[in-house]
Amino acid sequence: MAMSPFLLGLIGLCLLSLLILGGLWLKGQHPKHGFRRGRSTEKPIEMSSTYDSVTGLPTRRLFGTLLEQSVGRAAKTGRSIALLVVELEHFRMVAESQGQANSNVLVRVQAARVKGVLRSTETIGRLAQDQFAMILDNLTSPDEVTAIVAKLQATVGLPLTLDGHELFLTCRIGVALYPEDAREHEGLITQAIQAVRTAKSEGQAVRFTSPTVSSAASQSIPVASSFVDLRP
């Protein structure tokens, strides 16, 4: 039986609609589109767990792994390691007054300054919002650590201008030594962070976990300043 032109046109329209919908579905399943979006959402998550998004430095998770590897090498060679934790003074207050964008600039500048004090073979990471940590390996004497601590104090204390405001920040530093203070990486991190807290409570610029090193270093390292200047 012959179909009317109207019915034929309606069937054709339905078939065309099905073809269009099928093409859109296939396009959404194609790796060039759907799967690529999946990969792009995974990569930032993976990066954020290992590298800090503001400074590009290793996060605490990756830094812990790197420190564990350094401890393993030191155990085989008999070398000493120093773990330094540098805490920026008044960073949270400055961040609140300057805003997120400027506080990120501040962190990046201080991270670059701290990194510039170290040798290219040494490792630095960001433990927390206002804390950096660094591994000094292949040490021959505590005097090397004392010299680097003094450089860090001077470098972090350099003036920094943000939006016409001149900032002067200080820092406190906690130091733990391998193998004197701890023989595994988590213990070293715990000891160095505790040393920073002790320095803060006692008004010191730096605190060594080892009593013998601390008493010798206190004679050459000044008391920390708590001065922050925000000049218009």
- Residues 144-174 have pLDDT tens digits of 999 999 999 999 999 988 777 788 889 999 9
- Output phi, psi for 134, to 5 deg: -140, 150
What's the pLDDT at 226? Answer: 40
Q: What number of other Cβ atoms are within 10 A of residue 104's Cβ? A: 15
Q: What whole-number distance in Å separates Cα of residue 202 and Cα of residue 47?
A: 38
Percent share of the chain, pLDDT over 70? 69
What's the pLDDT at 97? Answer: 73
What's the pLDDT at 4? Answer: 61
What's the pLDDT at 11? Answer: 58
What's the pLDDT at 43? Answer: 41
Tokens 């206002």 belong to 130
Question: Which pairs with CB-CB distance under 8 Å and at least 24 residues apart come from 157-160?
Answer: 157/225, 158/113, 160/106, 160/109, 160/110
The model's pTM is 0.71
3-state secondary structure of 123: strand
What's the pLDDT at 166? Answer: 83
Q: What whole-number distance in Å separates Cα of residue 168 and Cα of residue 96?
A: 16
For the chain, how many residues are written?
232
- The residues of the chain scoring below 50 in pLDDT are 30-47, 215-232
For residue 69 the two structure tokens come to 């590897």
8 Å CB contact between 169 and 94: yes
Q: What whole-number distance in Å separates Cα of residue 73 and Cα of residue 137?
A: 9
What's the pLDDT at 3? Answer: 55
Residue type, 71: V
Query: What are the Cα distances from residue 231, in Å, to 52, 93, 163, 182, 220?
Result: 30, 15, 10, 43, 31
Tokens 């085989």 belong to 76
What's the pLDDT at 18? Answer: 52
- Rg, C-alpha atoms of the chain: 28
- Output phi, psi for 224, to 5 deg: -70, 140
